[in-house]
Amino acid sequence: MSARILDGNALSATVRGRLAERAAALQSRGVTPCLAVILVGEDPASAVYVRNKVAGCEKTGMRSLKDSYPADVDPAVVFARIAELNADPTVHGILVQLPLPRQFDSDAVLEAIAPEKDVDGFHAENVGALMQGNPRFIPCTPYGVMEMLKSQNVPLKGAEAVIVGRSNIVGKPMAMLLLAAGCTVTVCHSQTRDLAFHTRRADILVAAVGRPRMITGDMVKPGATVIDVGINRLQSGPDAGKLCGDVDFASTKDVAGLITPVPGGVGPMTITMLLANTLESAERSARETKK
């Protein structure tokens, strides 16, 4: 049997259609949702994501601002720009593209963003709110994954969920969301003994590692839902230059029940949820000013 493929581009199109309607409604009240993106350095992958974010805004009827800085910029310049954006009432979302160059204290940068404009959901206050079960902004990638699961009515209550990866931007918030939804959650990482023992128990397996094709079909339970968050550019071999996930699609597609492809899976949904958070922020601020 071959797994059903969960098409992130198709789901994105549906969700973005609804977002565009909400953006138009705000627009008719004189408010244009606006996302500010800060990019430091010349990493080509980051440049692609930022371009996708800016294009996503335009197509959904939102405004975007983009500030690019050279890799050796003085962090004080970036902090000053964040302060300016925090104070600008026409800006509803602020995102600083990660990773940042070495001279930056990334945590300090994330803490500098006003929590009510932190559409990534990375500010400590927002991380805390998510953990307490009362999120202000849900981090975009795990949020997108939850929407993908919901769109397919994947049963979550009592399901065994296994996440490979424990980063602040993917693995940890993913664990919180699946836990809140009623899954029994296991989080694996580089020190996990016998990774396959864990992954084979998963009804829902989320791979967020950054290692091309490391999850192979023999590590997957038959019928499982497999979510591939990984985005890797292959350096060598017959597919050199191509994008691939952390899941070996060829060997997994005949074992899994449902699987997300790379590209065209979680990536587009991440951007869609960023747009959703920005719109939500603009709606909240419009409600505040009306009061």
Ligand X SMILES: NC(=O)C1=CN([C@@H]2O[C@H](COP(=O)(O)OP(=O)(O)OC[C@H]3O[C@@H](n4cnc5c(N)ncnc54)[C@H](OP(=O)(O)O)[C@@H]3O)[C@@H](O)[C@H]2O)C=CC1
Q: Which residues are catalytic?
A: 53, 97, 120
Task: Give the whole-angstrom CA distance, residue 289 versus residue 31.
Answer: 11
Selection from ligand X, ligand GUE, none that 210 binds (CB < 5 to 8 A by kind) is ligand X
Question: 259: helix, coil or strand?
Answer: strand
25 vs 48, which CB is nearer to ligand GUE?
A: 48
Task: Give the whole-angstrom CA distance, residue 32 versus residue 210.
Answer: 36
| Footprint of ligand X on 49-108 (CB under 6 A) | none
Query: Any contact of residue 277 with ligand X (CB under 6 A)?
Result: no
Taking the complex as a whole, the smallest distance from the CB of residue 74 to ligand X amounts, in Å, to: 26
Task: Give the whole-angstrom CA distance, residue 31 versus residue 23.
Answer: 9
| Residue at token pair 């964040």 | 82
**Given the rule CB under 6 A, which residues bind ligand GUE?**
48-49, 52, 95-98, 120, 140, 231, 243, 262-264, 267-268, 270-271
Identify which range of 11-19, 77-85, 146-154, 158-166 contacts ligand X by CB under 6 A: 158-166
Q: CA-CA distances (angstroms) from residue 36 to 50, 90, 278?
A: 10, 10, 10
Return the residue of 121, 230, 257, 261 that touches ligand X, per CB under 6 A: 230
CB atoms within 10 A of CB 223: 12
Task: Give the whole-angstrom CA distance, residue 85 versus residue 101.
Answer: 21
Query: Any contact of residue 164 with ligand X (CB under 6 A)?
Result: yes
Q: How many residues are there in the chain?
A: 291
Query: Any contact of residue 171 with ligand X (CB under 6 A)?
Result: yes
Query: Any contact of residue 166 with ligand X (CB under 6 A)?
Result: yes
Task: Give the whole-angstrom CA distance, residue 279 versus residue 288.
Answer: 14
Taking the complex as a whole, the smallest distance from the CB of residue 64 to ligand GUE amounts, in Å, to: 14
DSSP 103-137: TS-HHHHHHHS-GGG-TT--SHHHHHHHHTT--SS
Identify which range of 24-32, 60-68, 163-171, 235-243 contacts ligand X by CB under 6 A: 163-171
Binding residues: 165-167, 231
| CA–CA–CA angle 251, 252, 253 (5° rounding) | 100
Contacts of 104 (CB under 8 A, 6+ apart): 40, 75, 78
Selection from ligand GUE, ligand X, none that 165 binds (CB < 5 to 8 A by kind) is ligand X
Contacts of 39 (CB under 8 A, 6+ apart): 46, 47, 50, 66, 67, 68, 69, 97
Taking the complex as a whole, the smallest distance from the CB of residue 268 to ligand X amounts, in Å, to: 8
Taking the complex as a whole, the smallest distance from the CB of residue 210 to ligand X amounts, in Å, to: 3
257 vs 267, which CB is nearer to ligand X?
A: 267
31 vs 231, which CB is nearer to ligand X?
A: 231
Q: Which residues pair with 96 in a beta bridge?
A: 38
Selection from ligand X, ligand GUE, none that 263 binds (CB < 5 to 8 A by kind) is ligand GUE
Task: Give the whole-angstrom CA distance, residue 183 versus residue 230.
Answer: 22
Identify which range of 67-75, 126-134, 182-190, 273-281 contacts ligand X by CB under 6 A: 182-190
Identify which range of 54-62, 117-125, 169-177, 216-224 contacts ligand X by CB under 6 A: 169-177
Which spans of this chain sit near ligand X (rule: CB under 6 A)? 141, 164-167, 169-171, 188-192, 195, 208-211, 229-232, 266-267, 270
